[in-house]
Amino acid sequence: MSSARPSSTLGRILRSASFRLTLFYAALFIASAGALFATVYVTATAAMQNDMAAVLRSEAFQLAEVHSRTGLNGLAQQIARRMNFRTRGPIFYLLQAPNGRVVVGNLPGMPPVNGVIDFVPKADTPAPDADGERTKLTGFGLTLSDGSFLLVAQDAARLTDMQHAIVRAFAWAGGLTLLLAIAGGAVLANSFLRRIDAITRTNRAIMEGDLSARIPVRGTHDEIDQLIASLNAMLGRIQQLMDGLRQVSSDIAHDLRTPLGRLRQHLEDARERAKTTADYDAATDAAIAEADELLETFSALLRIAQVEAGAQKSAFAELDLSALARSVGEAYQPAAEDSGHTLDIHIEDGVHLTGDRQLLAQMISNLVENALHHTPDDSSVTLALRRTGARFDIEVADNGPGIPEAERGRVFDRFYRLDRSRSTAGSGLGLALVKAIAGLHGLSIELTDRKPGLGVVVTGTAAR
């Protein structure tokens, strides 16, 4: 088992995309280095060849001037002196008379050739170098005015040594680059695989039921960290939805038992006690009322689920929030007066928002209804829309009994109702729907203590 694991890890590294990508870039770099090598090799060789040719040409023409002043014998003496006292490296000379006889020099006789010439000395002549090996020479030949032939040559081994040095340098650099690329690719691939393994472990934990599991973030803020942050946000949203689903299931199991029990009790009473048509009508009306309340509750739950799932975003459009809030407030003013309340409307014009008109109207209506329903007669309710820069506030405030500070964080939960409100009609879903609609539109909700009374402030960013 232990021997198979390293092999498996090595195989994963070799198959990983990061390792293959590193090798691809290493091959691309080596190809680029090869092109650079060819350029340097050709350029350096040509430069050195030109330099050698220039040196030899200069030497030959200097000797030609000596010949023009002192003749053949004077030139021979000058070449002999230069052969005995070398100051510019191993330079070889050949001076031939017009009849082809070698007058002086350390090179064998040869047919006259003018200009630059590359050659290897004949095998039956002494080798020109100290090691006894015959090497390639580069020379410059010049036919003098009396028909004699002058050749100045230099060992080309320096050029060969330079070429070999360039080849060795690029070979070592290319090999070291490839080795470092493979090692770096393996390290990079191993690091990448460890992060993939962390994601895999988290996924397995979630599949096994641990919805709180999250992928660890290194804090490097690279693209992998950004991806992990997005995945963790998605997992958090999934956990929130699942927790909400469990909470809804639990709330339904507890809060709907009472109306279902009353419905069953009404039907039993009708079967056992009803004697007249009026008795049956009364029992039927009570059962229908209970059924309507249940249907209204399930409809509200379905609407909350649709809003939280974001299914309504397809209907988003820019709308005049000021006109919408004013129309909702004016629609509730008669009902407020009938119930003994005062509804004041203070709407600032020119506030626009991108959203769903029907849902936003539902949100404002629920807030106004909640304030009217849970405050005593002669209470005052205010619907206001204010704008500050790019931000706006929708506030529904009253001067009623308010909500205890300890319970303000729970009033937006499904089916949650204050103790004093349990004797009144309602399902406890109004503010839960408000929260869902606000969340869909990116709005924030805050409860404020008006002393006396309660203020619900919905804050967002205006479209323009």
What pLDDT is attached to residue 424?
A: 47
Quick one: pLDDT at residue 2?
A: 43
Q: What is the average per-residue pLDDT within 310-325?
A: 79
Report the range out of 1-10, 30-39, 132-141, 288-297 with the highest average pLDDT.
30-39
Say whether pLDDT at 323 is over 90. yes
Report pLDDT for 308: 63
The pLDDT of residue 101 is above 50: yes
Portion of the chain with pLDDT greater than 90, in percent: 11
Q: pLDDT for 385-417, tens place per residue?
A: 999 888 999 999 988 877 776 666 667 766 655
User: Residue 87 carries which DSSP code?
Assistant: S
Distance CA 276, CA 24 (A): 92
pLDDT at 80 over 50: yes
pLDDT more than 70, % of the chain: 80
> Mean per-residue pLDDT for 305-329?
78
pLDDT value of residue 46: 86
Condensed to tens digits (0 to 9), the pLDDT of residues 24-42 reads 777 777 788 788 888 888 8
How far is residue 102's CA from residue 108's CA, in Å, rounded to a whole number?
8
Residue 235, pLDDT > 70, answer: yes
In angstroms, rounded to a whole number, what is the distance separating the alpha carbons of residues 286 and 296?
15
Q: Which pLDDT does position 418 carry in this prediction?
A: 46
- What integer pLDDT is reported at residue 124 of this predicted model? 47
The alpha helices in 256-390, defined as continuous H runs, are 257-273, 277-308, 321-338, 357-373
The pLDDT of residue 253: 65
Is residue 424 within 8 Å of 364, Cβ to Cβ? no
How much is the pLDDT for 392? Answer: 92
pLDDT, one tens digit per residue, over 58-72 is: 988 999 999 889 988
Q: What is the pLDDT of residue 385?
A: 92
Confidence band of 383 (pLDDT split at 50, 70, 90): very high
Of 39-53, 56-70, 84-98, least confident by mean pLDDT is 84-98
- Whole-number pLDDT of residue 420: 40
Confidence of residue 232 (pLDDT cuts 50, 70, 90): confident
pLDDT at residue 438 greater than cutoff 50: yes
- pLDDT greater than 50 at residue 130: no
Closest CA to 385 of 291, 441, 283, 459: 459
Q: To which residue do tokens 């407020």 refer?
A: 336
* Separation between Cα atoms, residue 438 and residue 444, nearest integer Å: 7
pLDDT at 95: 92
> pLDDT tens across 240-257, in order?
777 767 766 766 666 667
DSSP assignment of 104-170 equals EESS-------EEEEE---TTS--SSTTS----EEEEEEE-TTS-EEEEEEETHHHHHHHHHHHHHH
pLDDT tens for 155-198 read 877 778 888 888 888 888 888 877 887 777 777 777 777 778 88
Q: Give the pair of three-digit tokens for residue 241.
A: 């939805």
**126 confidence band (pLDDT: 50, 70, 90):** very low
pLDDT at 211 (0 to 100): 81
Average pLDDT value for residue range 78-92? 75
| pLDDT at residue 186, as a whole number | 76
Whole-number pLDDT of residue 419: 42
Q: What average pLDDT is seen over the chain?
A: 79
pLDDT at 213: 84
3-state secondary structure at position 306: helix
The dihedrals phi and psi of 114, each to the nearest 5 degrees, come to -90, 140
